Structure 1
Amino acid sequence: MDSHSKPTALITGIDGFTGQYLKKTLENQGICVFGTTHSRCNIKNSYVMDITDSLAVSKVINLVKPDYIIHLAAISFVAHSDPTEFYRVNVVGTECLLQSIIDSGLSLRKVIISSSANVYGNSSAEQISENISPEPVNHYACSKMAMEKITANYFNRLPIIITRPFNYTGVGQAEHFLVPKIVAHFKNGKKKIELGNTDVYRDFSSVEFVVQAYASLLNSDVKSEIINVCSGHSYSLQEIIETLEELAGYKIEICVNSDFVRADEVKKITGDNSKLLTIVPKLYIKKLARILEDMYLNGIKDD
Structure 2
Amino acid sequence: MPRALITGITGQDGLYLSELLLSKGYEVYGLIRGQNNPKLDLVRRTVPDVKLLTGDLTDMSSLIRALNASQPDEVYNLGAISFVAYSWENAALTSDVTGKGVLNILEAVRLYAGDDVSKVRFYQASSSEMFGKVQEVPQRESTLLWPRSPYGVAKVFGHYMTINYRESYGMHASSGILFNHESPRRGPEFVTRKVSQAVARISLGLQDHVTLGNLDAKRDWGFAGDYVEAMWRMLQQDQADDYVVATGETHSIGELLDAAFAHVGITDWAPYVKQDPAFMRPAEVDLLIGDPAKAKDELGWEPQVGFAQLVGMMVENDLAEQRALDGR
Same fold (TM over 0.5): yes
**1:44-97: CA deviation from partner (whole Å, max 9, x where unpaired):** 401111122121111110111100000011111112232111111122221111
Task: Measure the CA separation in 2 of the matches of 1:52 and 1:24.
Answer: 26
Query: 2:300 is aligned with what amino acid?
Result: P
Instruction: Pick from 31, 34, 37 the counterpart of residue 29 of structure 2.
Output: 34
Moved over 6 A (4+): none
Quote the residue 2:11 is aligned against: 16
**Alpha-carbon contact 1:201-1:269 (below 8 Å) kept:** yes
Task: Measure the CA separation in 2 of the matches of 1:96 and 1:216.
Answer: 24
Task: Measure the CA separation in 1 of the matches of 2:80 and 2:6.
Answer: 12
The correspondence of residues 215-226 of structure 1 with structure 2, limited to 5 A, is: 215-223=232-240, 225-226=241-242
Quote the residue 1:56 is aligned against: 62
1:268 has 2:287 as partner: yes
Query: 2:196 is aligned with what amino acid?
Result: V
Task: Measure the CA separation in 1 of the matches of 2:303 and 2:289.
Answer: 18
Structure 1 residues 124 and 101: CA distance shift in structure 2, 3 A: closer
1:122 has 2:122 as partner: no
Instruction: Pick from 173, 179, 193 the counterpart of residue 160 of structure 1.
Output: 173
More helix by share: 2
Deviation at 1:259, TM superposition (A): 2.7
The correspondence of residues 1-303 of structure 1 with structure 2, limited to 5 A, is: 6-39=1-34, 40=37, 41-42=40-41, 43=44, 44-80=50-86, 81-104=89-112, 105=114, 107-156=118-167, 157=169, 158-189=171-202, 190-223=207-240, 225-250=241-266, 251-252=268-269, 253-261=272-280, 265=284, 267-299=286-318
Structure 2: state its 5+ residue gaps. 45-49, 322-328
Deviation at 1:201, TM superposition (A): 2.2
**Alpha-carbon contact 1:74-1:89 (below 8 Å) kept:** yes
Task: Measure the CA separation in 2 of the matches of 1:244 and 1:269.
Answer: 20
**Alpha-carbon contact 1:205-1:231 (below 8 Å) kept:** yes
Structure 1 residues 149 and 217: CA distance shift in structure 2, 3 A: closer
- Secondary structure, aligned partner of 2:107: helix
- Secondary structure, aligned partner of 2:75: strand
Structure 1 residues 87 and 162: CA distance shift in structure 2, 3 A: same
Deviation at 1:263, TM superposition (A): 8.0
- Give the alignment's Cα RMSD to 1 decimal: 1.9
**Alpha-carbon contact 2:128-2:288 (below 8 Å) kept:** no
**Alpha-carbon contact 2:3-2:72 (below 8 Å) kept:** yes
**1:244-270: CA deviation from partner (whole Å, max 9, x where unpaired):** 222112343222222334586454321
- Secondary structure, aligned partner of 1:35: strand
Structure 1 residues 234 and 153: CA distance shift in structure 2, 3 A: same
**Alpha-carbon contact 1:204-1:230 (below 8 Å) kept:** yes
**Alpha-carbon contact 2:219-2:289 (below 8 Å) kept:** yes
- Secondary structure, aligned partner of 1:183: helix
**1:131-177: CA deviation from partner (whole Å, max 9, x where unpaired):** 11101121111111112222222113210101111111001111100
Task: Measure the CA separation in 1 of the matches of 2:218 and 2:253.
Answer: 7
Task: Measure the CA separation in 1 of the matches of 2:63 and 2:85.
Answer: 27
TM-score, length of structure 1 as denominator length: 0.91
Task: Measure the CA separation in 2 of the matches of 1:231 and 1:128.
Answer: 12
TM-score, length of structure 2 as denominator length: 0.84
Structure 1 residues 204 and 116: CA distance shift in structure 2, 3 A: same
Query: 1:149 is aligned with what amino acid?
Result: Y
Larger RCO, structures 1/2 (Cα 8 Å, 6+ apart): 1
Task: Measure the CA separation in 1 of the matches of 2:160 and 2:286.
Answer: 28
Task: Measure the CA separation in 2 of the matches of 1:94 and 1:161.
Answer: 12
Task: Measure the CA separation in 2 of the matches of 1:121 and 1:266.
Answer: 5
Count of residue pairs the alignment pairs up: 295
